[in-house]
Amino acid sequence: MKRRSILLAALLATTLGVAPALALALDVVATCPSMGALVRTVAPNANLTVLAGPDRDLHSLQAKPSMIRALRGADLVVAVGAELEVGWLPAASTSAANPAILPGRVGYFEAAAQVPLLDVGGSASRALGDVHPAGNPHVDLDPVRMAQVAEALAARLGQLDAAGASRYRANARRFAKAVDRRLPDWQARLASAPGVVLYHRDAVYLLDRFGVPLLGTIEPVPGVPPSGRDLRKLTGELRGLQGVIVHAPYQSPKAPRKLARDLGWPVRVLPMSPPLGADGNGYLSHIDAWVDAIAVAN
Amino acid sequence: MQHSLLPGALCAALLVPAATALADDGDIAELRAELEAMRKQYETRIRQLERRLSDAERAARTAQPPARAEALSQPMSAPLAPSVEQPTTKGASGAFGAVTAGSAFNPQISVILDGNYYQDDTDNGDGAALVGEAFMPGRGHGHSHDAEGDVHDHGGHSHAVAENGFNFREAELSFSATVDPYFDAAAYIAIDGDGNVELEEAYFDTRSLPYGLKIKGGKFLSDFGYANNQHPHQWDFVDQNLPYLNLLGFHGLQDTGLQLSWVPADLPFYARIGGEALQGNQEIFGATVSDEAQEEFNLGSTNTGPRLYTAFAKVAPELGRNHALQIGLSYAHAEQHQEVHSHTHAVHDEHDEHDEHDEHDEHAHEEEAHEHEDEHEHEDDHGHAHGDGVTEELHQTGLGGNADLWGIDLVYKYDAPGAYGQGDFTFQTEYLRSTKDLTVRSSAHPEQIGSSRKLTTDGLYAQATYGFLPRWKAGLRYDILGLTNKVSGGRSESFGSSDRWTLDVTWNLSEFSRLRAQYAYNDILVAENERERFNAFYVQFLMSLGTHGAHKF
């Protein structure tokens, strides 16, 4: 039904000789649902393909033929970036034989390249795990950064589709305003949050935004699972403190559960990304869920 | 609230000494722990506040935000978490690039170390070599090499075949980079345990051709089949499967030439079609013998290249985000293929040995089972006498012609939601069929010169892996060579096939290190009527240094 009305509008516009108000239907590929939500908000009429669901680890994914197919016809790929998708996106993009979406071109958009990053620099020694000195890539959990990314994305979409530029800009602004409206509430709810233990440093942008202390990570260094000794050490450090343990669905639940049992803390399993079909509002609900989980442990 | 906590902590600190006098040891420990915890919490809070303050100050100081490039090119020693909150004032341009640590290094470099401990229960401990020398039509050399048999050997270099004990298979150095807006390029150099250096791949690949076209040129692993373009460290098992090992050789179709491929757009499924023109410097398929052998066996010199052509097509239906299935069809044609067959005739002095001919002659063509009077002439150079009045003669036949290879592959992968590959499942199978269309160019039996020999051999492998625990994967493989063994129109050889069952367990300690244990039961045909059945055991390590590896399909 919606499509019919769009068609009708297009027909009207052309018959009336008015420049079509409709923006071009760009083919956009987002690597994860967070980026997909931004695309839906900024360019609701884009043909969007989201490559990975919220229940999969973006860092360990493997390039698949279906990804290559989606990238082959894409006008724009929207990635989180900063080497988060390094294992599979370059391989898939190269195989897709689509020069328009390679890094350095207008068709390649990386959220992490639009905002300041945390955890920049540091040792490149892999004794410290799967380190990425370029910075922590998980910017998509910070709503303020995501609002900035949305505006940059609108500018990029405007370059690809000049006719829709003002619309994209307006949509991004609307999203940024929605984030601004929610911020005081989130800040209030998290003002006295005691702190969080994460499995991996994947929610630090959210914690940093609201000043919630990161009390520790379950993996001793990135990409390396904890040994019994690591867990005992962490338990020793945290005993007596208040907090909540949060981990992603693809992270092993065993260690978080054990730690929670030993400390008497709650455990929450939360995805890094909103559901597959989420738009801007879906993304804000996703942040709501995180805020709830972190604030609840008062 | 923050302020009221601080005096509280101080009070607690002052009270502790008083409490020690009253409380027993357990209470003291508990109090200490509590105090320590409180102190930590305040420290965290204070650090947080300090940082927010300094951030705010900095934001106020810098009226104009620093350029994005500066923020990205901070030195490695930059402090952690400089959370500079700047409003993005980038104009319409934005940042087109990728944030990467690799931008500091050009090219990207990685080194992969691949070593193992190997043990088998063959008499000579040469099981790892035997699996690559399974007997099939046209392969004259079996268990025991002789000087003449070596002319048919593979290009004259050894391939670091595992011996019983410790083996270092190779250190693979890889360099890759985007050359300019038009080309990507990569080089892979393997150094084996003896220090032999070999160029595995060195190629360029276009990055800006339109219409989904790509051209690759240089020395590369062909996209024939599925397993062919994988480097040894990417295999799910320590060693290569029997069909690839015996029909293509240790390196597979690795050659110098050009590849053109096309990924069509706007199809409801994934498809890739391509073809290659290659020089034809092959070990087994499309191999030519040495100059001396070419002269000795009247095979003519090696043609100018390219002598080897391939074509391949892959399709993959849409099965959602977590499942992938790819089916491929491949074909390769070698315009020139040369072989020297050696076989022995057992000749009883009584001339009553017709039955034995068929047993001992590896290519017991009807025509060869005659003319024993002639054969005796060769006794001086080729034959030697058995003690019981039987003479064995070595005959060598030179054959030249062309060869075809067909391949079908099917790969299915399931990406499970579990941690670190738990629940992931893969199934992979390929069927290869090689047909060599040859003409006899030289023979101990002059009347056979000019007659044709068509040799057909095929092979199949099927393997599955399953992530049974986070980071732990089990694999099972069955491979067989010689489901069909045909020599000249329709005549099947009855010697049977070589096959193997392999079981392995792989432990990925991290993204960068991998340990693997593998057991195989081998049933390898080493000669027409001789089998070697043995157990083989590997423990392998793989270490990946440098650039984050690609998770290719």
Least reliable range by pLDDT among A181-185, B44-48, B214-218, B247-251: B44-48
Q: Which homologous superfamily does the CATH classification assign to the domain defined by A189-295?
A: Nitrogenase molybdenum iron protein domain (3.40.50.1980)
Cβ-based neighbours of B449, under 8 Å, separated by 6 or more: B440, B441, B442, B443
Partner-chain contact B94 A155, CB within 8 Å: yes
Check CB contact under 8 Å for A124 and B184: no
Q: Write down the pLDDT at residue B447.
A: 86
In sequence order, what DSSP letters do the residues of B179-193 get, joined into one string?
EETTEEEEEEEEE-T
Q: Do B420 and A60 touch (CB under 8 A)?
A: yes
Helix A228-238 with A254-263: angle, nearest 10 deg: 30
Tell me if the pTM is above 0.95: no
Q: Which of A15-29, A74-88, B278-292 has the lowest mean pLDDT?
A: A15-29
- Give Rg (Cα) of chain A: 21
CA distance B455 to B365: 12
Between CA A214 and CA A205 the distance in angstroms is 11
Mean per-residue pLDDT, A163-183 = 96
Report the gap between the CA of B203 and the closest CA in chain A (Å). Answer: 14
Q: Which residues of B touch A223 (CB under 8 A)?
A: 510-511
What would the mean pLDDT of A224-240 be, rounded to a whole number?
93
Phi and psi, residue B86, nearest 5°: -115, 135
On whether ipTM exceeds 0.85, the answer is yes
The bridge status of strand B254-262 relative to strand B270-278 is antiparallel
B210 touches chain A (CB under 8 A): yes
CA B271 – CA A65 distance, rounded (Å): 8
Q: Give me B372's structure tokens.
A: 């024993």
Which has the closest alpha carbon to B303: B253, B338, B273?
B338
Residue B504 has pLDDT above 80, yes or no: yes
Of the pLDDT bands very low, low, confident and very high (cuts 50, 70, 90), residue B496 is confident
Given this model, what pLDDT does residue B80 score? Answer: 38
Largest Cα–Cα distance of chain B, in whole Å? 117
Question: Would an 8 Å CB–CB cutoff place B207 in contact with chain A?
Answer: yes
Q: What is the pLDDT of residues B182-204, one digit of tens each?
A: 999 999 999 999 999 999 999 99
pLDDT-derived band at B376 (thresholds 50, 70, 90) equals very low
pLDDT digits over B287-301, tens only? Answer: 999 999 999 999 999
- C-beta contacts of B158-162 below 8 A and 24+ residues apart: B158/B196, B159/B132, B159/B250, B159/B251, B160/B192, B160/B193, B160/B194, B160/B196, B161/B128, B161/B129, B161/B132, B162/B116, B162/B118, B162/B128, B162/B239, B162/B538
- CB burial of B222-237 (b: ≥16 within 10 Å; e: otherwise) equals bbbbbbbbbbbbebbb
Chain A residues in contact with B86 by the CB 8 A cut-off are: 116
Q: How many Å apart are CA B105 and CA B120, to the nearest integer?
A: 43
Mean pLDDT of B497-521: 95
User: What's the mean pLDDT when you consider all of chain B?
Assistant: 79
Buried b (16+ CB within 10 A) or exposed e, B162-199: bbbeebebbbbbbbbbbeeeebbbbbbbbbbeeeeebe
Rounded to whole angstroms, what are the CA distances from B112 to A87, B199, B380?
Answer: 16, 15, 53
For the segment B215-222, the average pLDDT, to the nearest whole number, is: 98
Question: CA torsion B370→B376→B378→B382, rounded to 10°?
Answer: 90
Which position has the higher pLDDT, B401 or B349? B401
Closest Cα in chain B, distance from residue A182 (Å): 18
pLDDT mean over A172-184: 97
The string of pLDDT tens digits covering residues A69-110 is: 999 999 999 999 999 999 999 999 999 999 999 998 999 999
For the cut 50, the answer to whether the pLDDT of residue B157 exceeds it is no
3-state SS of chain A is CHHHHHHHHHHHHHHCCCCCCCCCCCEEEECCHHHHHHHHHHCCCCEEEECCCCCCCCCCCCCCHHHHHHHHCCCEEEECCCCCCCCCHHHHHHHCCCHHHCCCCCCEEEHHHCCCCCCCCCCCCHHHCCCCCCCCCCHHHCHHHHHHHHHHHHHHHHHHCHHHHHHHHHHHHHHHHHHHHHHHHHHHHHCCCCCEEECCCCCHHHHHHHCCCEEEECCCECCECCCHHHHHHHHHHHCCCCCEEEECCCCCCHHHHHHHHHHCCCEEECCCCCCCCCCHHHHHHHHHHHHHHHHCCC
Residue-wise pLDDT for B518-540, tens only, equals 999 999 999 888 899 999 999 99
> For residues A242 and A76, what is the distance between their CA atoms, to the nearest angstrom?
44
B53 has a pLDDT exceeding 70:
no
- Which residues of chain B have a CB within 8 Å of the CB of A129? 510
From chain B residues 122-141, the ones with a CB under 8 A of any chain A CB are: none
In this structure, which CATH number among 3.40.50.300, 1.20.1250.20, 3.40.50.720, 3.40.50.1980 belongs to the domain A2-182? 3.40.50.1980
Report the Cα A37 to chain-centroid distance in Å.
9
Instruction: Give the residue with greater pLDDT, B216 vs B20.
Output: B216
Picking from B33, B269, B420, the nearest residue to A239 by CB comes out as B33
Residues 6+ apart with CB under 8 A from A17: none
- Which residues of chain B make contact with A112, given a CB cutoff of 8 A? 99
The C-alpha of A41 sits at a distance from chain B's nearest C-alpha, in angstroms, of 18
Burial of B260 (0-12, 13-18, 19+ CB in 10 A): middle
**B507: which chain A residues are within 8 Å (Cβ-Cβ)?**
none
Which residue out of B41, B106, B321 would a mutagenesis test of the A interface target, given it has the greatest number of A Cβ atoms within 10 Å? B321
pLDDT value of position A284: 97
Q: Which residues of B touch A194 (CB under 8 A)?
A: 41
Residue B19 is predicted with a pLDDT of 42
Q: Would you call B83 an interface residue with chain A, using a CB distance cutoff of 8 Å?
A: yes
Report the range of poorest mean pLDDT among A42-56, A130-144, A267-281.
Answer: A130-144
Best residue of B2, B49, B96 to probe chain A, by most A CBs closer than 10 Å? B96
B78 vs A123: CB contact, 8 Å cut-off? no
Residues of chain A with CATH 3.40.50.1980: 2-182, 189-295
pLDDT tens digit sequence for B432-491 = 999 999 999 998 888 888 888 899 999 999 999 999 999 999 999 999 999 988 887 555
How confident is residue A218, by pLDDT bands cut at 50, 70 and 90?
very high
| Inter-chain Cβ pairs, chain A and chain B, closer than 8 A | 242
The chain B residue lying nearest A76, using CA atoms, is B96
Q: Find residue B340's DSSP bridge partners.
A: B398
CA B56 from centre of chain: 54
Q: What span, in angstroms and rounded, lies between the C-alpha atoms of A8 and A180?
A: 36
pLDDT over threshold 50, residue B368:
no
Q: Which of B19-33, B295-309, B393-407 has the lowest mean pLDDT?
A: B19-33
What's the CA gap between B260 and B215, in Å, rounded? 5
CA distance A159 to A155: 6
Distance CA B248, CA B127 (A): 19
8 Å CB contact between B532 and B509: no
DSSP string for residues in B376-435: HHTHHHH-EE-TTSEEEEEEEEEEEEEEEEEEEEEEEEE--SSGGGTT-EEEEEEEEEEE
Q: A196-198 and A214-217 as β-strands: parallel, antiparallel, unpaired? A: parallel
Show the tokens assigned to B68: 């994005």
- How many CA within 13 A on the CB side of residue B412? 8
Looking at A61-75, B390-404, B416-430, which range is the least confident one?
B390-404
Beta bridge partners of B514: B508, B542
Calculate helix-pair angle for A143-160, A33-42, nearest 10 degrees.
Answer: 60
Letter string b/e over residues A16-55, b meaning 16 or more CB atoms within 10 A of that residue's CB: eeeeeeebbebbbbbbbbbbbbbbbbbbeebebbbbbbbb
Given an 8 Å threshold on Cβ–Cβ distance, is B37 in contact with A115?
no
